[in-house]
Structure 1
Amino acid sequence: MLFKSFLLLFFLFSFGISKAEESDCGISPSLERYKEYNQNRIFGGENSNEGDFPWYIWMYADGGKGCSGTIIHENWILTAAHCVNEAEHVTIYYGSVDWKIMKTQKTAALQYFVHPQYGASGHASNDIALIKLNGTLEFSDKVQPICLDSNVDSPLNEILTQCGMGSDFKKRNGSNTHFSHDILQDAPIQHINSSICGKNGKEEYICVGGVNHAALPGDSGGPLMAIRDERWVQIGVASTYSASNYEGESISINVKNTYINVSSYCKWIKEITENVVQC
């Protein structure tokens, strides 16, 4: 009996170690940088460094519509439903913060899964989708998955983090124009009351906002992140934004973003990926 007990303990211990090794997600140099920020301030966006957010991907649907997304497994991407809904071809770019490099590293979608209730209860409801890749990503310091967690909670006023390569605003010839970034941008942003985004009391949404920083066109599908237990955890998927008060040579703009709350969809993610991705 003692021998059997020893074998059982050995098996459980070994299994636990292997599971920990397999779940090496959410690790990057940007953890230290963001932990050092003054949490009483909101900072503007800045260029990301190589390897800061190795789960970030950029994608084009049908060759034109640009969106963001995240690596959650070597075969799976998480993004927004409106980025891939009714698309025939989706190309994914990854492995760098620099578009000049990223555009040389691409893969294709084998299949994508839009949430079955997308748009069922209003604009952008259940705006979440999964992409199964036509191949397997090779992980490195520049290609890594982000963590998901069904139990993660973000209190109001917490400073969260977003990143993307979407549009920005700049005043040119007296008018406000869009321009795109060639380098991945990241910035802290504050968790605000969901009623400000018109989503009062709806747990499937997370509302964030501030001045001169936000997820804008092209950032849809990208991550809203929090640091938990020395790892980055994705708590939201960028869905919609609203902006007002454009002023100045660069921008002075009040922005509100609605993110889809990932923890509300963990069961669906597990089902679609056939238990490969869990949170």
Structure 2
Amino acid sequence: MSSSVMDMTLRWLFLVLLGCASAVSPSMYGEITSPNYPQIYPNNANETWNIQVPDGYGIRLYFIHLDIEPSDNCEYDSLQVIIGNEVQRVFCGRHSLESTGFPKETFYPTTRMKLHFNSDFSNQERYTGFAAYYVAVDVDECKLSNPCSHFCNNYIGGFFCSCPPEYELQEDQSTCGGNCSGGLYTDLRGQISSPGYPSPYPENSRCEYKILLELGYQVVLTFKAQDFDIEAPEDGSCIYDSLIIKAKGRKFGPYCGRTPPPRIETGSYEVDIDFITDSGGDNRGWKIYYSEDAIPCPTGTFQHAIVNPRKDKYIFKDMITVKCEEGYEILYGQKRLPSFRAKCQADGTWSNANLRCQPVNCGDPEEITNGDVDFTLTTYGAMAVYHCTTEYYTLKGEDTYHCSLDGFWRNSKKETELPQCAAVCGKSSVIWETRILGGKGAKEGYFPWLVRVASSPNGLGGASLISDRWVLTAAHVVQEDESPTLKVGSVAHHMATEIPVKKVIVHPEWTIGSNDGRLNFNNDIALIQLARRVELDECVYPVCLPQKGESDHPAIREAGYVAGWGTTERLQKTKHLQFTMVPLRDLEGCKKIVPKNHTVNSNMLCAGAAGHDSCTHDSGGPLMFEDLKVRNEEYKTLYIAGIVSWGVKCGEFGMYTKVQNYLDWIETTIEKEEREENDEEQPEPLKICKK
């Protein structure tokens, strides 16, 4: 025989033996003896026998020999009878069949037990142990545990339960209950009663009934005192028998006793009735009277709403139009609806019930640059008040806004445009005490908007801060330098603070070219946008721009100020800001003095007098005049009328770019640049003042 065939044969024999072993059924009887029986048992014995008989049987155990070393509580040697994890009996001692102490046969109502024998280290008296037999004995379950609710029938190896004729055996095969389920009631009115009513209802039963009406109706249940008798304990807890009503996810009950439930409006066209009984009691049961009623839709679903038509009761298929009271709105996603229609549905709910009249909410009011807004609520009628963060800004526009019906914050003029915190401009403490060229040193606070410019290749010049982000200067000063060096904050330029530049914007009609020998300075104006805003305070704030349309100001011979770090009357540059007063001159008169090959036009101003003038390195600086319409005893308010542009000879008169003519360009340019960077995150303002 080949090895492969032999392997297959052995494998088959192993499977056959395994199958035979697993098929062995519990034994009906057996003998168990101690080790070496009938000879003396060994020392230190420890042995266990498992006994099992078929289901439906118990075990009868008896001895024919018992000879185990005696001791108190069988401490030395013993035989234990164990069922589950509990020791039922313990045997030891020397007994004969005829002796009074010999154990009688014992019946154990179990299918499994263990016998455990153990001995200690010494069997000096030569005890011979034990011999015992077990026999499977039928158990009468009916007498042992009364497992059936009505009739119990025993047979060898088991039992079965049976019921009276009016009952049937339940799924547990031990309980008898009445057959009372499956009733369906579809008439608009009717009666339902417990099984056999008014005779006592069956025990151990679960009766289920269903009422199913047409859509749009609800089931109404009523009870009468004489028709209600369900077993109940004294505490009324309904733990014995109970009646339960279920409708539309709601539960009514449980009910029991002799007091009937109140009238029940279920709110549903579909109702389930459950009646559950236990094994005791002798009560008559119950009768329910049911009827239909149109299911009403609630009248208070739509809060803060104007409903049309208005009724005391709405029923299936009724339609209404819903509008909101003043101060409330209907939101459908992101859309506002003026009204909506709703229909009373068959289940007593409104269509579109998810739509609500919500308070008009304007959201948090927008913030403004250099300002704050105070508010508490954001709903209709709420108030928001704007103010600027420091005294160096002034609010332009109305400060108070209210949340309006359309969901926007509006001022008293119904406008949504927000106020602006404009920089306080032109405040100057300048005092003219004496006669740049013909000038004197400026003090802190005289011209806090003055900017010193160092550009390539044009060297030094001046400029003026006109907001916290923009600087105004002459085009010829910065025309060839995209990133000039700017310093502000001190009359001594070596003590001033450098401010970073983002962009230089020269007037589009300025002709870029060399300044040496230039004859045409028309449109000599430029804007510089700062990379960071400067924090306005007592050290630095802007000069005012002239008012649009005021062409009569400044007037001829009116005295203004020029200031800069340029050449003085000694033709030397200065480290300290110098200023002087110069009168405005008639442009036509200056034109006659200027060489005819120079361009002089209405975009220019002429100012100066003998010994009082701007000069080299003052280019781009301001020509300033006092705003006589602003009266204040503590300070003057100055505006920039001109920008130092060119001249024929220092110390006589100078030509200035007329700022009035470029106000539109300044405004539109700034708006365009700031609009384009609207989404850019801005850095914190730069603090200049060291105080």
Shift of 1:16: 11
Deviations 1:74-106 (A, max 9, x none): 11100000001121431100001112312xx10
Of 151, 166, 182, the match for 2:549: 151
Could you list the runs of 5+ residues in structure 1 that have no partner in the other structure?
171-177, 245-253
d(CA) in 2 for partners of 1:242, 1:73? 32
Of 197, 214, 220, the match for 2:613: 214
Aligned residue for 2:662, secondary structure, equals: helix
Shift of 1:215: 0.8
Asked if structure 2 preserves the Cα contact closer than 8 Å seen for 1:63 and 1:90, the reply is: no
1:242 equivalent in alignment to 2:644: no
Shift of 1:265: 0.2
Match of 1:86 in 2: 480
Match of 1:233 in 2: 639
Of 254, 259, 262, the match for 2:656: 259
TM-score scaled by structure 2?
Answer: 0.33
Letter in 2 for 1:163: A
RCO higher in structure (CA 8 A, sep ≥6): 1
Shift of 1:12: 5.3
Letter in 2 for 1:184: L
Match of 2:522 in 1: 125
Aligned residue for 2:520, secondary structure, equals: coil
Which structure has the greater CA radius of gyration?
A: 2
d(CA) in 1 for partners of 2:673, 2:413? 20
Match of 2:561 in 1: 161
Matches within 5 A, 1:189-200: 189-198=582-591
Q: Which moved more, 1:117-126 or 1:85-94?
A: 117-126
Residues 1:222 and 1:201: Cα distance change in structure 2 (over 3 Å):
closer
Letter in 2 for 1:25: C
d(CA) in 2 for partners of 1:53, 1:88? 26
Aligned residue for 1:57, secondary structure, equals: strand
d(CA) in 1 for partners of 2:509, 2:490? 33
Of 438, 443, 459, the match for 1:49: 443
Of 104, 110, 113, the match for 2:505: 113
Matched residue count: 248
Residues 1:196 and 1:109: Cα distance change in structure 2 (over 3 Å):
farther
Of 644, 668, 689, the match for 1:271: 668
d(CA) in 2 for partners of 1:108, 1:10? 37
Write out the 4+ residue segments of structure 1 that deviate beyond 6 Å after TM superposition: 13-17
d(CA) in 1 for partners of 2:414, 2:445? 32
Residues 1:185 and 1:224: Cα distance change in structure 2 (over 3 Å):
same
Letter in 2 for 1:218: H
d(CA) in 2 for partners of 1:162, 1:64? 20
Asked if structure 1 preserves the Cα contact closer than 8 Å seen for 2:458 and 2:478, the reply is: no
Deviations 1:50-76 (A, max 9, x none): 121000000111376111000011111
Match of 1:101 in 2: 495
Aligned residue for 1:179, secondary structure, equals: coil
Q: Which moved more, 1:118-127 or 1:254-263?
A: 118-127
Aligned residue for 1:211, secondary structure, equals: coil
d(CA) in 2 for partners of 1:141, 1:13? 36
Deviations 1:231-277 (A, max 9, x none): 21111010002227xxxxxxxxx411000000100111011111789
Asked if structure 2 preserves the Cα contact closer than 8 Å seen for 1:58 and 1:94, the reply is: yes
Residues 1:147 and 1:116: Cα distance change in structure 2 (over 3 Å):
same
Asked if structure 2 preserves the Cα contact closer than 8 Å seen for 1:51 and 1:96, the reply is: no
Match of 2:88 in 1: none
Q: Which moved more, 1:62-71 or 1:113-122?
A: 113-122
Asked if structure 1 preserves the Cα contact closer than 8 Å seen for 2:457 and 2:480, the reply is: no
d(CA) in 2 for partners of 1:191, 1:266? 20
d(CA) in 2 for partners of 1:101, 1:209? 30
Aligned residue for 1:132, secondary structure, equals: strand
Letter in 2 for 1:272: T
Residues 1:260 and 1:11: Cα distance change in structure 2 (over 3 Å):
same
d(CA) in 2 for partners of 1:125, 1:269? 16
d(CA) in 1 for partners of 2:492, 2:414? 42
Shift of 1:211: 1.5
Match of 1:249 in 2: none
Asked if structure 2 preserves the Cα contact closer than 8 Å seen for 1:194 and 1:207, the reply is: yes
Deviations 1:98-155 (A, max 9, x none): 12312xx102321111111113996111000000112111111111011102234211
Letter in 2 for 1:212: G
Asked if structure 2 preserves the Cα contact closer than 8 Å seen for 1:62 and 1:89, the reply is: no
Match of 1:223 in 2: 622
Aligned residue for 2:500, secondary structure, equals: strand
Letter in 1 for 2:560: L
Aligned residue for 1:267, secondary structure, equals: helix
d(CA) in 2 for partners of 1:222, 1:16? 35
Asked if structure 2 preserves the Cα contact closer than 8 Å seen for 1:63 and 1:89, the reply is: no
Asked if structure 1 preserves the Cα contact closer than 8 Å seen for 2:458 and 2:477, the reply is: no
Residues 1:17 and 1:157: Cα distance change in structure 2 (over 3 Å):
farther
d(CA) in 2 for partners of 1:15, 1:122? 50
Aligned residue for 1:83, secondary structure, equals: helix
Aligned residue for 2:649, secondary structure, equals: strand
Match of 2:455 in 1: 61
Asked if structure 2 preserves the Cα contact closer than 8 Å seen for 1:164 and 1:185, the reply is: yes
Letter in 2 for 1:181: T
d(CA) in 2 for partners of 1:140, 1:259? 29
TM-score scaled by structure 1?
Answer: 0.78
Of 425, 449, 469, the match for 1:75: 469
Whichever structure has more helix as a proportion of its residues is 1
d(CA) in 2 for partners of 1:204, 1:233? 17
Match of 1:173 in 2: none
Deviations 1:150-206 (A, max 9, x none): 234211111111111101242xxxxxxx31111111111011111243289832111
Residues 1:140 and 1:78: Cα distance change in structure 2 (over 3 Å):
same
d(CA) in 2 for partners of 1:14, 1:227? 34
d(CA) in 1 for partners of 2:445, 2:470? 19
